[in-house]
Amino acid sequence: MATPLEKARKDPESMKARILHIARRFFGEYGYHGTTTRMIAKEAGIDSSTLHYHWGDKKDLYEAVIVDINKDLGQKLIAVEKRIHGLPLDQRMAIAIDAMTDYLFKFPEVSNLVLFHYFSKTRDALDLRVPEFTADIARSMGLTRDRKTTSPRAKIEVLAVMNAIHNFISGEKFFRPIVNLNRKDYISIVKETLKFVLIGSFVEREKKQKSS
């Protein structure tokens, strides 16, 4: 029952996990085609055939990476959901944005890989079913009227918020020189701006809805 990925996640010291971790970073930075198995193997200090021994083909390793980061992301989202449950909307959003931003700045490959997966195609036909969080987040943020279905509008709103966060993490190397700030200041100004831009409209709408 234990898949290779589960094994690797349980024992972070294993070579399997070591390779997976490095693969996350490289695939995140250079994308699927921009990353070679030799790059990963060299960084891990092993031969590329050892990599193949543990994870099979490049495609298989990439799929494992995608599944891996989606598990991490899902766990983090659940943890955040618990923290904000029951609070008023503005606090819910502020805390969620802070927490997710901190987390993603710590593991930027997650944002990198999510965005790569959104925005680019791959020549190799790899079909990976990725868990879909938009509906859950929409529910957690109280954007769904109906308990069961989530409207397209609500999902689009969630995507707008999530992507806004991912962008500043993945785009750091490009954006930070533009604003000319050190990493610490960049992170703090990003968090401020995200909260400023993203929260206002939602809170305002909620006010109007309650008053009517």
Partner DNA sequence: TTACTTTTCCATCAAACGATGGAATCAATG
Partner DNA sequence: CATTGATTCCATCGTTTGATGGAAAAGTAA
Residues within the interface to its own copies (CB under 8 A)? 29-34, 112, 115-123, 132, 134, 152-153, 155-157, 159-161, 163-164, 167-168, 170-171, 174-175, 178-181, 185, 189-190, 192-194, 196-202, 204-205
Q: Which of 8, 23, 37, 166 binds DNA (CB under 7 A)?
A: 37
Binding mask 112-131 for DNA (x = CB under 7 A): -----------x--------
Choice between 15 and 89, CB closer to DNA: 15
| Distance from C-alpha of 53 to C-alpha of 70, rounded to nearest angstrom | 24
Token pair for 83: 């923290």
Q: 97 near 198, Cβ under 8 Å? A: yes
Q: CA distances (Å), 180 to each of 145, 176, 193, in order?
A: 43, 6, 16
Counting residues that bind DNA (by CB under 7 A) gives 18
Token pair for 16: 């399997």
DSSP 3-state of 173:
helix
Partner from DNA, its own copies, none contacting 188, C-beta within 5 to 8 A by type: none
Choice between 79 and 189, CB closer to its own copies: 189
| Distance from C-alpha of 186 to C-alpha of 33, rounded to nearest angstrom | 30
Partner from DNA, its own copies, none contacting 102, C-beta within 5 to 8 A by type: none
Q: CA distances (Å), 77 to each of 64, 74, 170, 182, 186, in order?
A: 20, 5, 19, 28, 23
Q: Is 15 in the site for DNA (CB under 7 A)?
A: yes
Radius of gyration of the chain (CA): 19
Q: Which of 3, 36, 91, 193 binds DNA (CB under 7 A)?
A: 36
Token pair for 9: 């996640």
Q: Which of 38, 153, 183, 207 binds DNA (CB under 7 A)?
A: 38
In the complex, which residues of this chain contact DNA (CB under 7 A)?
Answer: 15, 35-38, 45-50, 52-54, 57-59, 123
